[in-house]
Structure 1
Amino acid sequence: MTAPAPKLTEQQVNFLLQPISGKRVRNLRGMSHLEAWDVRRQLIRIFGFEGFTVETQSLDLVAERESKNGDRSRWTVVYRAQVRLTVKAVDGRPLTVFEDAAAGDAINQPSLGDAHDLAMKTALSQALKRCAVNLGDQFGLSLYNDGSQGAVVMRSLAYMGDPVPESEDAPVGAEPTPDKQGAEPEPEHRPTPAPAASQQARPKAAPDPAPAAVSRPGAMPPAGAAERQTALDAMWAAAQDAQFVDGLPAQFVGSFGHSIEQGTAAEYRQATELMRGSQAA
């Protein structure tokens, strides 16, 4: 009997689909980036200490140049590194492999040894970050979108349930579109709505859809009205805690392809988990 293919857990997928926390983003000469230690930390948090391996495929000296300043030498060194990142399932079986390369330099260093050490570490760190970015927003993918911290992946059909269309032409939901400028402002800059206005802006759950209408990929069978309303209330409470009440309706449409009023209890719970997870990250 063939063993089932290894896969990510639901918790891992949900975490990977969250937008990156602004606290993790650094800015250097106007460019947003992640630090290498933070990438490793996030790999450990999501996949575990034994859940990934980082292999150096090659590490080559590209250039070594000495310059004189009086009787003192200064060194500039450049290395090129090729790195392989293997991500594993919780049972230890390999899930996927990413390979990438990068160059790193150390400029005008007083010690030749320090110059080599710094250039090697820079090249290896940059190559690892380029491998990890294939894992999405938690590893800086959105930062390539003009430094945006808003999610650009949002969902993946690979981790959604099989659709049950009414016909071959049945729609499967709108494709979420990321805002090029990153519509999500930093928490300290988000407007905080007055509690009364927030409560008034909350739409109630629409009546349960007929079973034939539930044809979105990953959608679960219609839950009872009480369950949907409880999940809806919990979602709005999480939005209030995250100061994201104003942005939630548009983000919900972008993620699920329809308005909040048409949502299911499962979608409300998923949105709640994403907001709470984003706060904790």
Structure 2
Amino acid sequence: MSTLTDPQLKILLAPVNPKRVGQTRGLAHMEAWDIRRQLIRLFGFGGYSTETLALDLVAERETKQGERSRWTVVYRAQVRLTIYDTDGKQLGFWDDGAAGDSVNQPSLGDAHDMAMKTALSQALKRCATNLGDQFGLSLYNDGSPEPVVHWSAAHPPKPVTDEPAPPMPSLDADPPVKPEPQPQPQPEPQRDETPQPEPVAEERPRPRAVPRPAPDPDEREAALAAMWDAAKQTNFVEGLPSQFASAFGHPIEEGTADEFMQARQLMVGSVAA
């Protein structure tokens, strides 16, 4: 029978180190790279595997800003996480899915890359919560790092013996976890403000400014519905209006589709999403 070792159980039943928990606009979350690090620590190199069951493009939108284009891309991913014991025998596997977006990027390639990576990372983090508090399960409890899995009937404590337990490294020695770097929108080039002499040539009529397209009401309503759906899944319905107004400077009724998508991603992007 495949089993977990005593050191593995000791770590799995311990509370998550608060240094591994980040806060983004009031939402607790854990970084995907830190989840992978903890999987390696607990199960060893090659002690777990991930499989992408599905990766689908949901939406791709181009927004014109003058002569430049900005891109918003959304992907949906389905991922399977499998763990093994120290002999390489399968202990269990879990499937879960998530959506990830990349908003207002100047490069279409960066927009696709970030959205795919976000969707895959969020799906992996949701799979890993099945392994308990070390992988963010307690964050579902209003973002608290306090443990919610204190014991397991399948793994009862062993009788106390006089033999000293082998020393274990302190996981609290890790520095606070920093988020993964993300591509940022490129700033607009600065214009030369040096006064230039006016040309003597004959004045020509100026071209008419092309009006910007009006926001798509259907797209805004869809983004609004998706944001409220994410709030329901994270039990954040009551706190969403005040958090939205604090983040964007106006109430939800005045929000845009992009703001609704950003708010949804913050909720989906946390392990507690």
TM-score by length of structure 2 reads 0.60
Structure 1: which 5+ residue stretches go unaligned?
A: 161-217, 228-265
Matches within 5 A, 1:153-172: 153-160=149-156
Question: 1:105 maps to what in 2?
Answer: 101
Change (3 A) 1:69 1:279: closer
Please give the alpha-carbon distance, in whole angstroms, between the structure 2 residues aligned to 1:219 and 1:91. Answer: 22
**RMSD of the TM alignment (CA)?**
2.2
Q: Deviations over 1:199-248 (max 9, x none)?
A: xxxxxxxxxxxxxxxxxxx4637x7xxx6xxxxxxxxxxxxxxxxxxxxx
Question: 2:29 maps to what in 1?
Answer: 33
Secondary structure at the residue paired with 1:53?
strand
AA paired with 1:65? R
AA paired with 1:53? S
Structure 1 residue 118 corresponds to structure 2 residue 114: yes
Please give the alpha-carbon distance, in whole angstroms, between the structure 2 residues aligned to 1:130 and 1:80. Answer: 14
Question: 2:208 maps to what in 1?
Answer: none
8 Å Cα contact 1:20/1:278 also seen in 2: no
Q: Deviations over 1:55-101 (max 9, x none)?
A: 10110000000111111111000000000000001000110001000
Question: 1:237 maps to what in 2?
Answer: none
Please give the alpha-carbon distance, in whole angstroms, between the structure 1 residues aligned to 2:158 and 2:7. Answer: 17
TM-score by length of structure 1 reads 0.58
Question: 2:133 maps to what in 1?
Answer: 137
Please give the alpha-carbon distance, in whole angstroms, between the structure 1 residues aligned to 2:151 and 2:167. Answer: 14
Question: 1:47 maps to what in 2?
Answer: 43
Q: Deviations over 1:165-189 (max 9, x none)?
A: xxxxxxxxxxxxxxxxxxxxxxxxx
Structure 2: which 5+ residue stretches go unaligned?
A: 175-273
Secondary structure at the residue paired with 1:146?
coil
Q: CA deviation at 1:40?
A: 0.3
Give the total of aligned pairs.
174
Secondary structure at the residue paired with 1:158?
coil
When you count helix as a share of all residues, which structure comes out higher? 1
Secondary structure at the residue paired with 1:153?
coil
Please give the alpha-carbon distance, in whole angstroms, between the structure 1 residues aligned to 2:3 and 2:139. Answer: 26
Please give the alpha-carbon distance, in whole angstroms, between the structure 2 residues aligned to 1:49 and 1:220. Answer: 30
Secondary structure at the residue paired with 2:7?
helix
Matches within 5 A, 1:1-281: 5-160=1-156, 218=157, 220=159, 277=170, 279-280=172-173
Runs of 4+ that moved beyond 2 A:
218-221, 276-281
Structure number with the bigger relative contact order (C-alpha 8 A, sep ≥ 6) is 2
Q: CA deviation at 1:277?
A: 4.8
Percent identity over the alignment is: 60
Q: CA deviation at 1:279?
A: 3.9
Please give the alpha-carbon distance, in whole angstroms, between the structure 1 residues aligned to 2:167 and 2:15. Answer: 12
Please give the alpha-carbon distance, in whole angstroms, between the structure 1 residues aligned to 2:158 and 2:59. Answer: 56
Secondary structure at the residue paired with 1:120?
helix
AA paired with 1:154? H
AA paired with 1:220? P
Question: 1:247 maps to what in 2?
Answer: none
Q: CA deviation at 1:7?
A: 1.1
